Amino acid sequence: MIADNMLGLVKNSSVIRAMFEEGNRLAKIHGAENVYDFSLGNPNVPAPAEVGTAIQEILDEEKSTYVHGYMSNAGYEDVRKTIAQSINQKFDTTFDATNIVMTVGAAGGLNVILKTLLNPGDEVITFAPFFGEYRGYTANYQGILVVVAPNTVDFQPNLTEFALKITKKTKAVIVNNPNNPTGVVYSKETVKKMAAILEEKQKEFGTDIYIVSDEPYRELVYDGVDVPYLTKYYKNTIVGYSYSKSLSLPGERIGYLVIPDEAADSEDIKAGASVATRILGFVNAPSLMQRVVAKCVDAKCDVEAYNRNRELLYNGLIDLGFECVKPQGAFYLFVKSPTEDEKVFCDIAKKYNVLIVPGSAFGCTGYVRIVYCVSYDTIKNSLPKFAEIAKELGVTK
Ligand code: PLP
């Protein structure tokens, strides 16, 4: 018999993953070209050519060395140094190798930092809508996830409610910018206000409250929008970065944490993050991929392809009468459901082989998430299906 807790987790397992499996099942029945799977944020844009070249070069160059060996739990020192220098160049910061811990993607990084920071019963605040896996990651360390209700006007965080939800038990605030599932980018003004609230609350309670900035979509932004680098606005910030989306490498599981020296107890956090990497069973981030990303610090995937998809899907749905805040980043649209219960919308869409994810998976009912990291043709061919769905739901312009 598996653990009681795990029985519950299996039962409530990720809706998104279930949709993805459903998409595969439908594709076998109807043919992949007749299924419009908008469920999983799996990048369709290929990894930049530099990635393949780097793999080849590393395998050739390092034949006689331990490219596949263990290294310190935080990762190869030269790789961490290269990454720190690249961050410094881009954001005018002053990090070095000691501030970087290589991780098994953003998911690994979030688990490492929450394991490092949380005592049982500590509270972790996040803003709805949010990446649903935060629930599991927080519960892994007996933390309590406290959710700030969504601001559905523009999906910037609701800072008035945020201030009210901070308590003596608040240990961390997970901020995801650009945001999954809305694609909204939190502005500099928002970040400054958030930092001011946190400074005040730290003083009031005599505690340290850490922002954990979850940034897998940092490079996927449109219209030249700026994504503030949070360590510059709030000293107790730990950044979690991933190459899953920026270099289209989600299956390779590679990312890093940035732990600034200015953060309270930073030496303990660095040491804790190394130990957490080891005892969570990661031991270290994938060795070959560490070397690859160090060679590809300036590589970029084809963001313009996502931008074309964004314009096509957003304009197509707006023309049909759907409502949605135009995303400035990531590769998701968060569309208002024409039915009060968005699961009805998802079920009707499924009749047309269109797979979309209910907002309840992100703590925001009444909305659905539609990914646009799919081929342009998939979006183009899905629009007549969305037209039929709109008709069935009585949506008009
Ligand atoms: N955080 C957010 C907001 C995400 O959307 C995802 C993946 O979709 C992750 C973390 C996990 O990413 P990774 O593949 O780097 O573990």
Confidence of residue 64 (pLDDT cuts 50, 70, 90): low
Query: Which ligand 1 atom minimizes the distance to the CA of 104?
Result: 16
Distance 154 CA to ligand 1 centre (A): 22
Nearest CA to ligand 1 atom 7: 41
Q: Where are the alpha helices (DSSP H) in the chain?
A: 4-11, 15-30, 49-61, 77-91, 105-117, 133-139, 159-165, 188-205, 243-246, 266-279, 287-295, 303-320, 342-351, 376-393
Query: Which ligand 1 atom minimizes the distance to the CA of 110?
Result: 10
Confidence of residue 278 (pLDDT cuts 50, 70, 90): very high
Q: Which of 15, 112, 114, 214 to mutate to test the pocket of ligand 1 (most atoms within 8 A of CB)?
A: 214
CB 284 within 8 A of CB 122: no
pTM, full prediction: 0.96
Distance 243 CA to ligand 1 centre (A): 10
Q: Which of 396, 59, 110 is nearest to 253 (CA)?
A: 110
Distances (CA, A) of 231 to 39, 208, 237, 330: 32, 15, 5, 21
Query: Which ligand 1 atom minimizes the distance to the CA of 108?
Result: 16
Query: Which ligand 1 atom minimizes the distance to the CA of 214?
Result: 1
pLDDT in tens, 18-50: 777 888 888 899 888 899 999 999 999 999 999
| Per-residue pLDDT, 65 | 65
Nearest CA to ligand 1 atom 5: 180
Look at residue 57 and tell me whether its pLDDT is greater than 60.
yes
Distance 240 CA to ligand 1 centre (A): 10
| Per-residue pLDDT, 17 | 73
Distances (CA, A) of 38 to 24, 92, 183, 245: 12, 37, 15, 16
Contact residues of ligand 1, CB 6 A cut-off:
41, 105-107, 131, 176, 180, 214, 216, 242, 244, 250, 255
Nearest CA to ligand 1 atom 8: 41
Residue 36's SS3 state is: strand
Look at residue 14 and tell me whether its pLDDT is greater than 80.
no
Q: Which of 42, 102, 133, 238 to mutate to test the pocket of ligand 1 (most atoms within 8 A of CB)?
A: 133
Least-confidence region, from 20-34, 107-121, 147-161, 200-214: 20-34
DSSP state of 97: G
Instruction: Set out the domains of the chain in order of their start, with CATH numbers.
Output: 4-47+301-393 (3.90.1150.10), 49-295 (3.40.640.10)
Rounded CA-CA distance 184/254 in Å is: 24
Distance 58 CA to ligand 1 centre (A): 27
Confidence of residue 171 (pLDDT cuts 50, 70, 90): very high
Q: Which of 242, 248, 253, 373 to mutate to test the pocket of ligand 1 (most atoms within 8 A of CB)?
A: 242
Mean pLDDT for 219-237 is: 97
Look at residue 140 and tell me whether its pLDDT is greater than 80.
yes
Q: Which of 161, 159, 160, 151 is nearest to 184 (CA)?
A: 151
Distance 106 CA to ligand 1 centre (A): 5
| Per-residue pLDDT, 23 | 83
Distance 330 CA to ligand 1 centre (A): 11
| Per-residue pLDDT, 27 | 87
Q: Which of 245, 248, 293 to mutate to test the pocket of ligand 1 (most atoms within 8 A of CB)?
A: 245
Distance 109 CA to ligand 1 centre (A): 10
pLDDT in tens, 79-127: 999 999 999 999 999 999 999 999 999 999 999 999 999 999 999 999 9
Distance 178 CA to ligand 1 centre (A): 11
Query: Which ligand 1 atom minimizes the distance to the CA of 243?
Result: 15
Peptide bond into 181 cis (omega under 30): yes
Distance 394 CA to ligand 1 centre (A): 35
Q: Which of 374, 264, 293 is nearest to 50 (CA)?
A: 293
Query: Which ligand 1 atom minimizes the distance to the CA of 179?
Result: 3
Rounded CA-CA distance 290/296 in Å is: 10
